[in-house]
Amino acid sequence: MSDTEIAERAGLDALAYVTLFKTALKIFGASFLYCVIIELPVNVTANYYAEFNQQPSVAGDPDRQLQFSNFDKMSMGNVDKGSPRLWTHVIAAYWVAFSCYFILYTIYKNMSHLRAQFLSSFGARATVRQYAVLVTDIPASETDRHSQVDSFFHRLHPRTYERAQVITKLSEVDKKYKEKEKVRRKLAHAEAVYAEAQKKDSEKAKRPQHKTGFLGLVGEKVDTIDWCQKRLAELGPELAEERRKTVNERTIDAALVFFNSRAVATMAAQSAHARKAESWQTQFAPEPRDVIWANLGVSWWERFARQSIVYGITFLIIFFYMIPITIVSGFSTLDNLRQFAPFLDPVFDIGAVRAILQGFLPQLALLIFLAILPKLLFFLTKREDLTSLSHADRGTAGKFYYFMVFNVFLGVTVAGSAFGQLKQMTTNPTGIVDLLGSSIPQQATFFITYIALRGFIGYGLALSQLIRVVIYLVKLKFTVKTEEDKREAWAPGSFFYGKNVPKDLLIVLLGLCYAVISPIIIPFCIVYFGLGYIINKNQALNVIVPEYESGGRMYPHIHKRFVASLFIAQLTLLGYMGIMKFTYTPVMIPLPVLTVVFHLFTKKCLETRFTATPIEVAIQVSWFSDVFGGLGNGGVVEMLGHLQEVSEEPTVSEVAAAYTPECMGGIEDVEASFSTAAPASSREYETVLLNGGNGKVIA
Amino acid sequence: MSDTEIAERAGLDALAYVTLFKTALKIFGASFLYCVIIELPVNVTANYYAEFNQQPSVAGDPDRQLQFSNFDKMSMGNVDKGSPRLWTHVIAAYWVAFSCYFILYTIYKNMSHLRAQFLSSFGARATVRQYAVLVTDIPASETDRHSQVDSFFHRLHPRTYERAQVITKLSEVDKKYKEKEKVRRKLAHAEAVYAEAQKKDSEKAKRPQHKTGFLGLVGEKVDTIDWCQKRLAELGPELAEERRKTVNERTIDAALVFFNSRAVATMAAQSAHARKAESWQTQFAPEPRDVIWANLGVSWWERFARQSIVYGITFLIIFFYMIPITIVSGFSTLDNLRQFAPFLDPVFDIGAVRAILQGFLPQLALLIFLAILPKLLFFLTKREDLTSLSHADRGTAGKFYYFMVFNVFLGVTVAGSAFGQLKQMTTNPTGIVDLLGSSIPQQATFFITYIALRGFIGYGLALSQLIRVVIYLVKLKFTVKTEEDKREAWAPGSFFYGKNVPKDLLIVLLGLCYAVISPIIIPFCIVYFGLGYIINKNQALNVIVPEYESGGRMYPHIHKRFVASLFIAQLTLLGYMGIMKFTYTPVMIPLPVLTVVFHLFTKKCLETRFTATPIEVAIQVSWFSDVFGGLGNGGVVEMLGHLQEVSEEPTVSEVAAAYTPECMGGIEDVEASFSTAAPASSREYETVLLNGGNGKVIA
């Protein structure tokens, strides 16, 4: 199955995630060719460890003998210090580096090509958002927000601006909508239960009843079906009233602006609009499902403050995460528990229970903390007031990756908490190369075990989907009555990129760091990423339902971390070469420099294609409709009617409807709200202008 | 004289430079209020040095006595270690920081306001370039470049694209043009000489003659006036032919694209155009005089490579500048000179000459190197293929500033070469705070002398303009004959921002670093910047002729270095407080954090207004002409004829003419070259399209 097919069926975001595995597979495959086939035999036959122990001065003295496993015998450490055999490893480093550059560049280029294809494809979800620009930080004004936005954009884009949809505070209407939904489902549920009962015994069937008070435990007992029908009849008009109020009274300082030309919308999203930089900020509108409505309408100042605070907290979490854990662990000792819950004493007195609790309790805090960490980071990242879920996912992935690098990777190798690492680094940063070189090679065996465990246990669980099936069966038995209930209970959810991506990238980092030093890690990596590729591709195609579609915006994030891993690996090897007393170590210095240049190169040349849509991509296929400025305009469509594609272009109402949150209802509501607030089309404006009504236009 | 007036008379770039002095004056003025009036007496009355020397154990032992000057007595070091008096200095640090934030923010905001005003003003030079977008990296194509650019932009901006001017390789035509100019001036010169001779003695006057060969030393002797007239007659057609060839055959992969709408031009300059990021890159067109024509047409790859190399070389210059100087100094000892030029032996034997040479020669290399350094850096920066002189100036200023901070500021305080600093820093960077704190305070006296010397000698020279006047008088006596010669000989040139700005910013750094530690430096800074303000404002208004007008793009550069200086000053004081054994030193920690936040804040909120023109600014005043899409369009002008401003809008031919390099001749040539290469107006395109000729448009 080709990349294009995956992108079409599962979306570009899922493809970006699957590509992570493909890229890693290719890189470790290429490394395998040299490092395992050529370098590994060189290491094994060198026999440094065994010979060292056979030296007359060492042989008799067990204290001075080196401890080594079979894994160690296959590593670079088994080569004599300063031996010319080390040239093999120099070549290995260059081989790995250049394979990485080649593979990363071609795959990145391919992804950027797919993204361009996705953005310029007709009928795709992409099309809708290419007419829309998200505007935030609309300055305070005395006039009505609708006409304020309207006059501003009409002045700047007189011929291409179509209409604006001011964002509203949805909390009230959402509450009402949720209530209505709840009642509707309660009714469906009650009807299903009643029908089932009637089927069994049509005479004895009791109509379902419930109490109206708190949690259905207190209050008057009513007939559920009747009550629900009555309540629904009331809620209809209430919701409509709430929607009307929301549109007219609860506007916030953000809006979606729709243009009749993809080219102009694309340019407007990338351009500064207002004289004051902190007002009227524009950006590419995220895909409708991707928007975090609740985060819109926060002022520039508040967003700046929130971001600073979130970064501060993240810094504290990464570097001082041991502190809260130690405190909680301290509280959660057995003795404390006894004091807190003396009635459990008899249980604690059972020997086995006590042993398990004593060993297990202090670890529990750590385990819980690590399990909730990605969710906590996601929560924090959302508080930064990012406008889209995809951005929040990327932010979470970045933070979690830093946490893992500092606490798992450096934590294990150099030992101690991240703050310890930081201190060590800042007191001696040229020493960082020596530090990496001296401490990382010793941990090869540990990390090989880590990768194997992560692979087999993690993927085993993912494959069996055990937990999900159990939950589903339980729900099916007890709560599921209607088709809707069933669909919801079985809903597989989406990938949590913020958690998964950094976890897999950590394995990339480990693999690259040990590829030359201890090449036996490579087959483990190949198995890990091979399994991951198969399982995640299957999940993406057949199981997962994506929450949003950002067009593969995650890939630059992944690419950069591949490059960073390569850079760290090169520094490590540089340091280790020094420790191996290799005279020609300076031949390794160009490698990290090259990696930095490669990073800058891909950043300039490919990353920009993910952050901004080029006009050429935006107007692909439909360029001729731009000439006439008509978006779903009757005359033009008729004239160019023989061109099938034109009719697939969304009308501006369709675009607006796509950007209407569920709780605000369907397209009619939006239409109604706009018929008074905004002019139907920019064409009207021009007519007014040409007829000489200069003053009226802006006011 | 208000800022607006300076901007109008001398340009916004000159205003940005003058504002440096104004900002510094305000900051040191505010610091004076607290640090000199309140803190200085606290220091002087503390009397630590004198009391230390009077201790019984120290008084008798001259080795243990502290050496201190009167300057030292006025510094913070004169306060007892750990004394509560140090709270005065904590308050001083906060006072300086908050004055800086306030002054820097208000001035930056004012500058950004002036820039917006400048960009949206009518009739200013700014207007021309707001219709133009500079396009680089036009991909190779088989079709003619003119029509390639034309079809690409017409496809993307069908209604707003007006025409393109493909940039050409100017070296050939420039040679011919320069030759013509040279002959023209030779003729004028010869005629003036002959006329003068005739005036003295009309009969004996000899017609000027010269030899046609190398440097006028060999070859046939000819009558200059006749020869020049003949040559000019030949050169006219030759130049015309060369211009024709240039336009048609010597096109390079860059073009200026003109739109009929400021809004679209502004958006196009900020937006990605092509699917491939490294092709069709757009940017705001620099002002015509500001363009470095020779740097256009370099491919993306070459530019990337050149930039990397220039950064590499700059790194080497900054950190290893001592090496070439040591080598050159080594060669330029007296003994080497003797061997090289034995015929000068008798001169060297004179005692006084020998003494001077021996003392002076090794320093000579250093002096020459430092004098040519800004020019060398400017040369290097130009090789980065920047498109504008103003950008090259900023690049030079940045590089020179780093050189000065590492080699002058840290070089003096911590001693040794920049590479030594770097090594010291990397081996112990948390120690950097301690290092700054312990070494900088000792050098106060040195730097006060430095500022005084720089001020009095430097400004003395600038004020007297001695060197320029001497050169002018010599030229007037011997070579100046025509009015044109005279104008050229007296031409004062422009500010060399790349050299001046970092020199003055170094004083800002010194002033801020010592403001609290040794407040007696403040009056010296006030005098320095006060004199600088008066002299440079006068130069800007009455002497200097600006080379280009970039609209104050230098100011963000200046602002950022003010903030960086404040940051360094705060770290220094933090370190020094620790050395002074002040128990409450941690109250100082929020200051550098605040400065970082302030930096991020101004970067987000104000710097963007210098890098990108907002649409609102671009269309100011003339927004209504955009509605009709007409730039100098007859009908619209007539219709809105009562609005005076419209007629001041440049026509597209005027815009094109402004962007024609001098050697390519005036407006007619450009017109002629375009009448065949490009359609007269986009209006024609639309007619073609509406008549159904779909295929023809793009081809």
Query: Closest by alpha carbon to A254, among A287, A290, A291?
Result: A291
With an 8 Å Cβ cutoff, is B58 touching chain A? no
- Residue in chain A closest to B157 (alpha carbons) equals A263
Structure tokens at B694: 């779909």
pLDDT (0 to 100) of residue B134: 92
In angstroms, rounded to a whole number, what is the distance separating the alpha carbons of residues B597 and A304?
A: 9
Q: Which residue has the tokens 């003797």?
A: B338
Summarize the confidence of residues B120-134 as an average pLDDT. Answer: 70
What is the end-to-end Cα distance of chain A in Å, rounded? Answer: 57
In angstroms, rounded to a whole number, what is the distance separating the alpha carbons of residues B365 and B326?
A: 8
- Check pLDDT > 80 for residue A91: yes
Determine what percent of chain B falls in helix, strand and coil, rounding each to the nearest 5.
70, 5, 25
Q: What ipTM describes this predicted complex?
A: 0.77
Nearest beta carbon to residue B429 from set A268, A308, A426? A426
pLDDT (0 to 100) of residue B426: 57
Measure the CA dihedral B93/B96/B102/B106, to 10°: -150
The residues near B65 (Cβ < 8 Å, ≥ 6 apart) are: B53, B58, B59
Q: Give chain A's radius of gyration (CA, Å).
A: 31
Residue B359 or A112, more confident: A112
Q: Would you tell me how many other CB atoms lie within 10 Å of the CB of residue A299?
A: 17
In angstroms, rounded to a whole number, what is the distance separating the alpha carbons of residues A543 and A491?
A: 9
Ranges assigned E (strand) in B117-246? 132-136, 161-168, 209-211, 221-223
The residues near A351 (Cβ < 8 Å, ≥ 6 apart) are: none
Decide if B614 and A694 are in contact by the 8 Å CB cutoff. no
- Check pLDDT > 50 for residue B348: yes
In angstroms, rounded to a whole number, what is the distance separating the alpha carbons of residues B621 and B613?
A: 15
pLDDT (0 to 100) of residue B447: 84
Summarize the confidence of residues B323-350 as an average pLDDT. Answer: 70
In angstroms, rounded to a whole number, what is the distance separating the alpha carbons of residues B571 and A545?
A: 52
Query: Closest by alpha carbon to B686, among B675, B677, B697?
Result: B697
**In DSSP terms, which residues pair with B133 in a beta bridge?**
B257, B284
Query: Closest by alpha carbon to B108, among B23, B26, B28, B36?
Result: B23
Task: Collapse the DSSP code of A388 into the 3-class scheme (helix H, G, I; strand E, B; otherwise coil) and give the result.
Answer: strand
- Check pLDDT > 90 for residue B678: no
In angstroms, rounded to a whole number, what is the distance separating the alpha carbons of residues B528 and B507?
A: 9
Decide if B274 and A689 are in contact by the 8 Å CB cutoff. no
Burial of A283 (0-12, 13-18, 19+ CB in 10 A): middle
With an 8 Å Cβ cutoff, is B137 touching chain A? no
The residues near A528 (Cβ < 8 Å, ≥ 6 apart) are: A451, A454, A455, A507
Decide if B271 and A272 are in contact by the 8 Å CB cutoff. no
List chain A residues with CB under 8 Å of B686.
Answer: 627
Query: Closest by alpha carbon to B275, among A112, A262, A617?
Result: A617
Residue B272 Cα distances to A264, A625, B138, B279, angstroms: 12, 21, 13, 10
Q: Residue A618: enclosing H or E segment and its boundaries?
A: helix A615-619
Decide if B270 and A275 are in contact by the 8 Å CB cutoff. no
In angstroms, rounded to a whole number, what is the distance separating the alpha carbons of residues A306 and A386?
A: 11
pLDDT (0 to 100) of residue B679: 35
Q: How far is A419 from chain B (nearest CA, A)?
A: 14
- Check pLDDT > 50 for residue A699: no
With an 8 Å Cβ cutoff, is A37 touching chain B? no
Q: Would you tell me how many other CB atoms lie within 10 Å of the CB of residue B497?
A: 27
Structure tokens at B528: 């320095």
Output the average pLDDT for chain B. Answer: 79
Q: Which residue has the tokens 């810094």?
A: A315
Structure tokens at A470: 């159990």
Tens digit of each residue's pLDDT (9 = 90 or more) over A585-641: 889 989 998 999 999 999 988 998 898 888 888 876 543 443 344 434 443 334 333
Q: How far is A413 from chain B (nearest CA, A)?
A: 21
If contacts are CB pairs under 8 Å, which of residues 633-692 in chain A contact chain B?
A: 686, 689
Determine what percent of chain A falls in helix, strand and coil, rounding each to the nearest 5.
75, 5, 20
Structure tokens at A344: 């459990």
In eight-state DSSP terms, residue A35 is: I
Nearest beta carbon to residue A617 from set B275, B423, B606? B275
Task: Collapse the DSSP code of B202 into the 3-class scheme (helix H, G, I; strand E, B; otherwise coil) and give the result.
Answer: coil
B615-633 as b/e: b if 16+ CB within 10 A: bbbbbbebbbbbbbbbbbb
Task: Collapse the DSSP code of A151 into the 3-class scheme (helix H, G, I; strand E, B; otherwise coil) and give the result.
Answer: helix
If contacts are CB pairs under 8 Å, which of residues 148-207 in chain A contact chain B?
A: 155-159
Task: Supply φ then ψ for residue B364, to 5 degrees.
Answer: -55, -45
If contacts are CB pairs under 8 Å, which of residues 303-332 in chain B contact chain A?
A: 304, 308
Distance of CA A106 to the CA centre of its chain: 23
The residues near A673 (Cβ < 8 Å, ≥ 6 apart) are: A244, A247, A248
The residues near A42 (Cβ < 8 Å, ≥ 6 apart) are: A79, A85, A88
List chain A residues with CB under 8 Å of B262.
Answer: none
The residues near B564 (Cβ < 8 Å, ≥ 6 apart) are: none
With an 8 Å Cβ cutoff, is A110 touching chain B? no
- Check pLDDT > 70 for residue B72: yes
Query: Closest by alpha carbon to B418, among B431, B399, B433?
Result: B399
Tens digit of each residue's pLDDT (9 = 90 or more) over B201-239: 777 777 777 777 777 677 777 888 888 888 888 888 888
Structure tokens at B584: 């409450």
pLDDT (0 to 100) of residue B34: 94
pLDDT (0 to 100) of residue B633: 40
- Residue in chain B closest to A625 (alpha carbons) equals B158
pLDDT (0 to 100) of residue A561: 95
Residue B562 pLDDT level (bands cut at 50, 70, 90): very high
In eight-state DSSP terms, residue A430 is: T
CB B277 within 8 A of CB A605: yes
Summarize the confidence of residues A57-66 as an average pLDDT. Answer: 72
CB B316 within 8 A of CB B418: no
pLDDT (0 to 100) of residue B429: 55
Task: Supply φ then ψ for residue B2, to 5 degrees.
Answer: -80, 165
In angstroms, rounded to a whole number, what is the distance separating the alpha carbons of residues A505 and A404?
A: 10
CB A609 within 8 A of CB A112: yes
Q: Which of A46-60, B34-48, B448-462, B620-634 has the highest mean pLDDT?
A: B34-48
Nearest beta carbon to residue A627 from set B158, B423, B427? B158
If contacts are CB pairs under 8 Å, which of residues 389-448 in chain B contact chain A?
A: 423, 426-431
Burial of A423 (0-12, 13-18, 19+ CB in 10 A): middle
DSSP string, A308-367: HHHHHHHHHHHHHTHHHHHHHHHHTSHHHHHHH-GGGHHHHHSHHHHHHHHHHHHHHHHH
Window from A393-397, A642-646, B196-200, B385-389 with minimum mean pLDDT: A642-646
Decide if A613 and B423 are in contact by the 8 Å CB cutoff. no
Decide if A268 and B267 are in contact by the 8 Å CB cutoff. yes
Summarize the confidence of residues A281-295 as an average pLDDT. Answer: 88
Q: Give chain B's radius of gyration (CA, Å).
A: 31
Distance of CA A235 to the CA centre of its chain: 37
Output the average pLDDT for chain A. Answer: 79
Chains A, B: CB contacts within 8 A come to 135
In angstroms, rounded to a whole number, what is the distance separating the alpha carbons of residues A625 and A131?
A: 13
Decide if B619 and A156 are in contact by the 8 Å CB cutoff. yes
List chain A residues with CB under 8 Å of B278.
Answer: 604-605
Nearest beta carbon to residue A277 from set B263, B427, B608? B608
Window from A170-179, A235-244, A663-672, B114-123 with minimum mean pLDDT: A663-672
Task: Collapse the DSSP code of B35 into the 3-class scheme (helix H, G, I; strand E, B; otherwise coil) and give the result.
Answer: helix
Residue A419 Cα distances to A290, A373, B593, angstroms: 36, 18, 19
